[in-house]
Amino acid sequence: MPPNSQTFLRQKTVSPPLSRLTPHTLSSSPPLLHYLIHLRFLCSRSGRVYLHKDIRLIFARRAPDTEPDFSFVTLTTMTEAPPSPKYGPLDGQSDRTKLTGVVRL
Q: Tell me, what's the pLDDT at 96?
A: 41
Residue-level pLDDT at 65: 58
Mean pLDDT by 10 residues, the chain (105 residues): 93 79 62 91 93 90 62 84 88 48 39
8 Å CB contact between 35 and 10: no
The CA–CA distances, whole Å, from 97 to 83, 94, 105 equal 25, 7, 21
Half-sphere exposure of 18 (CA within 13 A, CB side): 9
**Segments making up each domain of the chain, as ranges:** 5-84
Q: What is the pLDDT of residue 75?
A: 85
Look at residue 5 in the predicted model and tell me its pLDDT.
93
Predicted model pTM: 0.67
